[in-house]
């Protein structure tokens, strides 16, 4: 199978990690150009050392290169604001697709094990956020068994793994993840919280997922969660349950208020996760970045395999 040529825009931590993942692990993708805007960035220097063509002139520099005509997928690992500009340009080329690793959410939210099949023909898909990729599969797993009224996630990441892009997009993180909990996870209402943990030595990514659902078969919910964990582990081996799934009854006489829904009672499910990074470019504690790049890579590879099967 001939490899599909791709470009990565954004020479920061996420873009560089994705580049190395493609170079080391992908049997279907070939990194053609690595794009940045800072000629002194470590990412561009590393790409050059690894034999990858680069430009520090951003998206305009990319489309001016002869390699542009053969590129089929553009991974955008810049920022929410920059993605709006980059997307406008890429959309002018009918043969290009863009996979968005920012919280811009121009295209629909995509979490590979949950709703990949719904988005295979779209030109722009959004990878939500690191917290979204880690936790939305768990909300969706509960929703397969019982109607979920409310889903809340708390993503705790090492402060050292939160670069300028992450810090600049915290508002977009909470808004995008909250919306995706509803649109992809299946909850009536969603809420997302991110914590930058300053602990030394740095802690690995930890995520807590709370759902309040209608009463359902607890063993069926537990089984659904474990099956979903295995699906995520296919492309993020360091993804795991930190503890066994926990259940609590919320009786009708102790119903809780959910904004926009009113009083609700039912079954509270708690899922505790951890994500250990693969260590391709970043330390293992940077699981928040690893799950984003792994999800984007899995999406790109699936899209290419489907396209090849249609030929």
Structure tokens at 50: 């690894």
Residues 6+ apart with CB under 8 A from 138: 209, 211, 225, 228, 271, 273
Q: What is the mean pLDDT of the chain?
A: 95
| DSSP code for 300 | H
Confidence of residue 308 (pLDDT cuts 50, 70, 90): confident
Domains of the chain: 4-127+290-310 (3.40.50.720), 130-284 (3.30.360.10)
Q: pLDDT band for position 309 (50/70/90)? A: confident
d(CA 95, CA 72): 6
Listed residue (124, 86, 85) closest to 105, CA to CA: 124
pLDDT (tens digit per residue) in 6-46? 999 999 989 999 999 999 999 999 999 999 999 999 999 99
* Separation in Å, CA 87 to CA 56, 105, 132: 18, 11, 22
Residues 6+ apart with CB under 8 A from 275: 134, 204, 205, 206, 207, 236, 238, 239, 240, 287, 288, 290, 291
For residue 304, indicate whether it is catalytic.
no
Classify residue 38 as exposed, middle or buried by CB count within 10 Å of its CB (0-12, 13-18, 19+): exposed
Distance CA 278, CA 9 (A): 22
What integer pLDDT is reported at residue 172 of this predicted model? 87
* Strand 29-35, strand 53-55: pairing: parallel
pLDDT in tens, 251-261: 999 999 999 99
Residue 209 has pLDDT above 80, yes or no: yes
With contact defined as beta carbons under 8 Å apart, do 206 and 272 qualify? yes
Contacts with 88 (C-beta within 8 Å, 6 or more apart), sequence order = none
Look at strands 4-9 and 73-76 and give their pairing.
parallel
From the list 130, 225, 245, 297, the catalytic residue is: 130
Q: How far apart are CA 283 and CA 276, in angstroms?
A: 9
Residue 107 to residue 23: CA distance in whole angstroms: 26
Least confident of 113-127, 179-193, 223-237: 113-127
pLDDT digits (tens, 9 = 90+) for 36-84: 999 999 999 999 999 999 999 999 999 999 999 999 999 999 988 999 9
Tokens of 199: 């602990």
pLDDT of 310 strictly over 80: no
């Amino acid at each position: 199978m001939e490899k599909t040529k791709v470009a990565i825009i954004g020479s920061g931590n996420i873009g560089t990690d994705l580049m190395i993942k493609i170079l080391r692990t992908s049997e279907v993708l070939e990194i053609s150009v690595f794009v940045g805007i800072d000629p002194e960035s470590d990412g561009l220097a590393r790409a050059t050392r690894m034999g990858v063509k680069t430009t520090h002139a951003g998206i305009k520099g990319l489309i001016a290169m002869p390699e542009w005509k053969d590129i089929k997928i553009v991974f955008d690992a810049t920022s929410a604001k920059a993605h709006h500009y980059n997307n406008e340009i890429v959309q002018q080329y009918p043969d290009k697709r863009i996979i968005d690793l920012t919280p811009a959410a121009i295209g629909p939210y995509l979490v590979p094990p949950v709703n990949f099949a719904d988005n295979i023909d779209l030109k722009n898909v959004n990878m939500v956020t690191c917290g979204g990729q880690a936790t939305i599969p768990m909300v969706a797993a509960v929703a397969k068994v019982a109607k979920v009224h409310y889903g809340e996630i708390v993503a705790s990441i090492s402060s050292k793994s939160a670069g300028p892009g992450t810090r600049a997009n915290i508002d977009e993180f909470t808004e995008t993840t909250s919306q995706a909990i509803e649109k992809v996870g299946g909850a009536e209402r969603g809420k997302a919280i991110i914590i930058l943990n300053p602990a030394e030595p740095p802690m690995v990514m930890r995520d807590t997922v709370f759902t309040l659902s209608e009463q359902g078969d607890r063993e069926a919910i537990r089984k659904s969660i474990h099956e979903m964990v295995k699906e995520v582990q296919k492309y993020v081996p360091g993804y795991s349950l930190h503890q066994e799934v926990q259940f609590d009854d919320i009786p009708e006489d102790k119903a809780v208020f959910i904004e926009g829904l009113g009083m609700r009672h039912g079954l509270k499910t708690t899922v505790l996760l951890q994500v250990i990074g693969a260590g391709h470019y970043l330390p293992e504690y940077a699981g928040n970045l690893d799950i984003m790049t792994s999800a984007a890579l899995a999406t790109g590879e699936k899209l290419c395999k489907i396209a090849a099967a249609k030929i």
